[in-house]
Structure formats: structure tokens, C-alpha cells
Amino acid sequence: MAQRPVLIAIDGPAGAGKSATAREVAVRLGLPYLDTGAMYRAVALLAARAGLGAELDAAGREAVVELARRLDVRFLGDPRNLRVAVEGEDVTGALRAPEVSRMASVVSAIPEVRREMVRRQRELAALAGGVVEGRDIGTVVFPDATLKVFLTAAPEVRAQRRFDELSARGVVARWESVAAEQRERDLRDSTRPDSPLKPADGAVIVDSSRLSLAEVVDAVVALLPPTP
């Protein structure tokens, strides 16, 4: 019987360091890296460009679902320099804009959108496995992953990381606003009826509050079961 490809699922709240950790783990182990959050952000970006706001009525929700079904998203480059293209346009930078982050939390709470994204994520990881990060990877998308990690950090640490990220990109933001937006997103993600954010059964909780990126990566790689 052929051995199943290695698949590492990393879940956790915004600002916990999931993307950076997943990239470095993928590089360390020579595995593909799949940024599922970028897929939801791509839908959010298209929704924002279509003039849809965070308060969606029935027609707005259906419009978002249709955008998800027609989404043409591609990942280019290696894990450390991953670029995201939507309909052939490089939107890597645009996906991190605050308004897209807010919209992503809204569209990701729509069950039909989640089902479509889950279908695509399973297809992408079916052949080669990889390191996959998001908010329901171990609970819903890949409950039989080789390793399931729930990466978290103290709320104030996560808010500071997000603030520093925005500042590094030249985005002017108030720390209080960033922290408030994060609290709202945490609440939406953890209380949505479809695929709420929570540790998966069998997941190992890793708190990155006092750890460097290299230390977090070391911790995750050390958790990987030995190859038979």
C-alpha cells in the first residue's frame, strides 16, 4: 500500500504566526505550502471590488458565493516568497489590506463559501500533501492530517504583531483599532455556526507568545511522527 503523503495542519487565531510558521516548516521539510487564508482573502478582495460591504443581505451573500465558485486563484513561487494571483493579477499585497481582512472574516463565515474553499483545498493537497494553515484545517478540512497543531499567542502579542506588520508596510493604524478589530475577528471566528475556530481533536497546542519564529518551527517539526 502506498504511503500517504505527509500533511501538517496548523490552525489558530489571527496574529499567532501561522503563515510564517507554515512557510518555514514547509521549507525545512521540503513540503508544499498552502495558504488557505489567502483563498478567503481573494474572495474578500473580489467582493470589496464589487462594492459589497461587511453587512450582507441575501443577495449580497449569494453574490459572494458566486464569486467563490468562479474564483481563479493561483499560488506562485516558493513558500518564503509565495505570490498570489487572482485572474492573472498579482494581488499579494492587496490581500493584506485592513478592509480585506475585515471582509475575509465575513465571507469565511458563509457556509457555501467554506464548502467551496474546502473542496479546492482538498484537491490541492491530495497528491503531494504539504503544510496547510488556516482556522479549520485540522477540524474540518484535514481531520486525518499527519500532525495537527493549534498555534496561539496572547491577545496583546497578536495585536502587536499585526500592528508591526501594518507599520512595516507603511499602513498608518492605531494600536487600539488593530486590537479592537482583532477582538471582533476572534469573536466571529470562534462563534460562527459553520466550522468555528477551535483546536482539533488530537491537536497539539503551541503558544508562540514567548517564542521566536525559529523556536516555533523547531517545536512543530519535533512533533512530527517518525516515518515508518
Q: Which pLDDT score, from 0 to 100, does residue 111 have?
A: 92
Q: Give me the residues of the chain with pLDDT under 70, please.
A: 1-2, 227-228
Q: What SS3 string covers the chain?
A: CCCCCCEEEEECCCCCCHHHHHHHHHHHHCCCEEEHHHHHHHHHHHHHHCCCCCCCCHHHHHHHHHHHHCCCEEEECCHHHCEEEECCEECCCHHHCHHHHHHHHHHCCCHHHHHHHHHHHHHHHCCCCEEEEECCHHHHHCCCCCEEEEEECCHHHHHHHHHHHHHHCCCCCCHHHHHHHHHHHHHHHHHCCCCCCCCCCCCEEEECCCCCHHHHHHHHHHHCCCCC
* Predicted local distance difference test score (pLDDT) of residue 44: 96
CATH superfamily of 7-222: P-loop containing nucleotide triphosphate hydrolases (3.40.50.300)
* Each residue's pLDDT tens digit, 49-68: 999 988 899 999 999 999 99
- In this predicted structure, what is the pLDDT of residue 16? 93
Q: What is the pLDDT of residue 228?
A: 61
The pLDDT assigned to 2 comes to 54
pLDDT of residue 87: 93
